[in-house]
Amino acid sequence: MGQPILAAAAFLGGHCHCLYNEVGLNEVMPTNEYVEVRNGGYYVAGTRIGLDVVFYDFRRGGSPEKIFESYPSIGRLGKVYGALAFILDHPTEVEAYLKDQDRLWDELEARHPMPQDMIDRLRRAMGDVPVETL
């Protein structure tokens, strides 16, 4: 992903990474009571929190408690554990899904690059973060 787009995703809470995919995702990976498919993306059941958000937070060392603290709209800590169990039970499928989401994101970014004025506003909102970190 391009740096400004990635920064925008982080700035917006990281929730915009789940992109619509017209492939039948139900055939790629099963769901359970903690993970559901909506609009072509995988989400923590009953929330707008993408499975990718939980995955990347966990991969960066976030504990289930910290993830729940960051995303209280998940509703209860048990759902975080359930989503993590799902991720750990389906590593190949989750990796394939995330790679496909990255590909879709790259296509979207190529078709719709972020205008410079938006990049400038984002930098101002983030407190003039150096370009290298965006």
Domain count, the chain: 1
Domain assignment present for 66: yes
105-108 — which CB contacts under 8 Å span 24+ positions? 105/1, 105/5, 105/17, 105/19, 106/1, 106/2, 108/19
Q: Is the residue at 18 inside a domain?
A: yes
9 assigned to some structural domain: yes
DSSP 93-116: HHHHHHHHHHHHHHHHHHHSPPPH
The answer to whether residue 80 is domain-embedded is yes
pTM above 0.75, yes or no: no
Residue 130 lies in a domain: no
The whole domain housing 9 covers 3-118
Q: What is the pLDDT along the chain (134 residues), one digit of tens a residue?
A: 443 333 334 333 333 334 444 444 434 567 788 999 888 889 999 999 999 999 999 999 999 999 999 999 999 999 999 999 999 999 998 999 999 988 988 898 889 888 889 888 888 887 765 555 54
In a domain, 127, yes or no: no
Residue 98 lies in a domain: yes
